[in-house]
Structure 1
Amino acid sequence: MGGKKTKITNHVKRTRLLEGLSQVELAKRVGATRQTIIAVEAERYAPSLELAFRIAHVLGEPIESLFVFDSTDWT
């Protein structure tokens, strides 16, 4: 990838709040820690594919509406 970082943005926090879930509750439902959810929401951590699918399932959203890959300058 030529040293360029992959950029994955997400809408987890907004969607979680709309669903009325706390970070702790989302973490429990997806089998992660609250710290992991905090890092995902702050876009400091890109979750594994499995965790991303679990988050999408719990929040009732398609994965592609929660996680967006920025392919700008990716060749």
Structure 2
Amino acid sequence: MPVLKTKIKYYRDKNNIKQSELAELVGVRRETIIHLEGGKYNPSLKLAMDIAKIFGVAVEELFEFEE
């Protein structure tokens, strides 16, 4: 079964953005960002696009499925 992998933490670190700051920018709770980074939550398409827009990357660059 494919697993959704994310590079949110990488881009947060690269852009010096805290989890709480990213959460506020995209309108979710910090816990949501924690769960996304930990692979425990799959984002809605809107949330994935909003996060990608913050970092100026394509959704496919931020999220990918691995077997």
TM-score when scaled to structure 2?
0.92
- Report matched runs for 1:52-63 at 5 Å: 52-63=48-59
State the alpha-carbon separation in 1 of the partners of residues 57 and 28 from structure 2: 18
Task: Work out whether 1:11 is the aligned partner of 2:7.
Answer: yes
Q: Cα offset for 1:69?
A: 1.9
Report the equivalent of 2:61: 65
Q: Aligned partner of 1:42: which letter? A: G
Q: How does 1:16-31 map to 2 (within 5 A)?
A: 16-31=12-27
Considering only aligned residues, what root-mean-square deviation do their CA atoms show, in Å? Answer: 1.1
Aligned to 2:36: 40
Q: Distance in 2 between matches of 1:49 and 1:8?
A: 13
Structure 2 unmatched runs, 5+: none
- CA distances 1:9-65 after superposition (whole Å, capped 9, x unpaired): 110001111011000100000011100000000111111111000000011111100
- More helix per residue: 2
Give aligned pairs, total: 67
What stretches of structure 1 of length at least 5 have no aligned partner? none
Task: State percent identity of aligned pairs.
Answer: 39
Max Rg structure:
1
